[in-house]
Structure 1
Amino acid sequence: MRHGSIPGSRGRVRPVTLLGDPVLHAACEEVTDFGPELARLVEDMFATMYAARGVGLAANQIGTALRVAGTGWFARCLQHEHDHLEGGLYVDRLRGWRRHRVLRQAARAPWGR
């Protein structure tokens, strides 16, 4: 039985930063203040991740360039979110036809126009 609130249940869903936004390629700043503002950010990140049916989220994916990441499938997601914290994207790791295919799909998506 859970003895606390479900992560994200008090957070607000924030807009997700999409491919092409420069914030996704900027290295994030270290967290230095572990107060209520960070707690709200983490709650918002969980709420946003769940709303997007995601399994991980880095703070810069919601426009905040801080080194904060939340994960679901630990090993794979941790690397994926760490890439975001360093200003990298999954598509940056792709080469050849795979990269071309992903970029073509992104360009055709409603949010890519």
Structure 2
Amino acid sequence: MAWVYILQCADGSFYTGMTRGEEPDQRLSEHQMKLSAGAYTASRLPVRLVYSEYFELVADAIFAERKIKGWSRAKKEALIKGDWALVQRLSSRRRGKPRAQS
């Protein structure tokens, strides 16, 4: 079992991570306590948990984490809001621009 989660940092940026076995709230506490020296979030505290998703298979969670890390801010915000229609619309764009019409 594994979780993919998104934290919103004090500077407004997003951090996407994955945890095996631990629930996202536990990882949030670890980020808040700066347990990962040099971590992206350590200099951007406080952070808050804005999204999490459970996966039965660790491999699926790893795939989802990598995919989300490559997304634009707008697409991450749509995911956080649960706006799947917007996630799909943003997925059909290239570099933030609408695809050329044929």
- Which protein is richer in strand relative to its size? 2
TM-score (norm 1): 0.25
TM-score (norm 2): 0.26
